[in-house]
Structure 1
């Protein structure tokens, strides 16, 4: 059972690692993810290396709220708020023109996939940390997404600096929906 004390303790331990440029494996509002400070290029590079993923492919970020979302984008199209509020499951939106994040997090098309976290742990963690977190599946690139903690590859667990000790016996959700949203308000559904 998740108590306020162990939630707070896990947040503090994760933040200590994140502040030093470390990697965490953590339960997100969808599935288990690998995370780091989304503004730290070295930390982002470590995630690419751990996942054996080319750094030309995109990683997603989590933010705590709309205010943080606005801080890291040149513009948030008005329709984004409706999509976030009306979605029945977590939704990751690919936005144009991110700012203030690690350069190696931004692909050549100058977009960034961001989700406003919907679970208590992630919202508290990100809010207290004060910066967005990278949130990418806790898997080696090309391998299946682990649907619970037990399915996470040992190499991922060993490669992280801290593994959050919450919800390890619970089945996770499913990956988020992904929508590409242009600053001209064009909407393209990538994954339902």
Structure 2
């Protein structure tokens, strides 16, 4: 796994796109601070850039500088290791603007899964994570279900966890408003 993480980080450092296992489904990823790489992900997915992408980090400490100050509720949701949870919150500075929704928010998830957590920690910056499918098509539950279209357009495919057959589910998505109200966007 260590060699795979080092290799993936080499590609991320060069502004390339990777296909990698996350705490939920396999993801297409790049450096979340690199606008050019983020635009490439939209192209690969044939997805409108009006649909924001999410970012992964291994800890609140490593994402906090990119976000507006987090409420206690937001921190609790992000640190909830019982279920992968993406929290939509206000961005601050440093993330590629293409990641942000029109209202200046971004989806953030702290990953507790070993591979993606170590990848984020080793890379040292947030990593984009979007499901490994072309927009409008079903989200692949395992590596074997990822289309050749996706596999042929990314720059590096991680070798870790390819043989897993257990389907993983996408994260729940929760938006935390400035006033503290919580809206469940995806249960």
Distance 1:110 1:140 in 2: 25
Residue range with higher mean Cα deviation, 134-143 or 116-125:
116-125
CA–CA distance in structure 2, aligned partners of residues 134 and 47 of structure 1: 9
Does residue 52 of structure 1 match 2:50? Answer: no
Matched, 1:181 2:179: no
Q: Match of 1:142, SS?
A: coil
**RMSD over aligned Cα atoms:** 1.1
Alpha-carbon distance between aligned partners in 2 of 1:96 and 1:118, rounded to the nearest angstrom? 22
**Matching residue of 2:108:** 114
Q: Determine the structure 2 residue equivalent to 1:153.
A: 147
Contact 1:76/1:183 (8 A) holds in 2: no
Work out the CA distance in 2 between the residues paired with 1:154 and 1:106.
Answer: 28
Question: 1:24, CA displacement in angstroms?
Answer: 0.3
Shift of 1:87: 5.6
**Preserved contact between residue 53 and residue 129 of structure 2 (Cα < 8 Å):** yes
Deviation at 1:98, TM superposition (A): 3.5
**Distance (whole Å) between structure 2 residues aligned to residue 104 and residue 38 of structure 1:** 9
**Residues 1:13 and 1:172: Cα distance change in structure 2 (over 3 Å):** farther
From 51, 74, 79, the counterpart of 2:73: 79
Task: Tell me how many residue pairs correspond in the alignment.
Answer: 186
Q: Which residue of 2 aligns with 1:64?
A: 58
Normalized against structure 1, the TM-score is what?
Answer: 0.93
Taking the aligned partners of 1:87 and 1:14, their CA distance within structure 2 comes to: 25
Deviation at 1:75, TM superposition (A): 1.3
**In structure 2, distance between residues paired with 1:105 and 1:10:** 26
Q: Matched residues in 1 for 2:80 and 2:118: separation?
A: 22
After TM superposition, give the deviation of residue 182 of structure 1 in Å. Answer: 1.6
- The CA distance in 2 between the partners of 1:99 and 1:106, in whole Å, is 11
Gaps of 5+ in 2: none
1:28 maps to 2:59: no
Query: Any conservation in 1 of the 2:79–2:110 contact (CA below 8 Å)?
Result: no
Cα shift at 1:9: 0.2
Distance 1:87 1:185 in 2: 21
Name which of 24, 32, 56 aligns with 1:38: 32
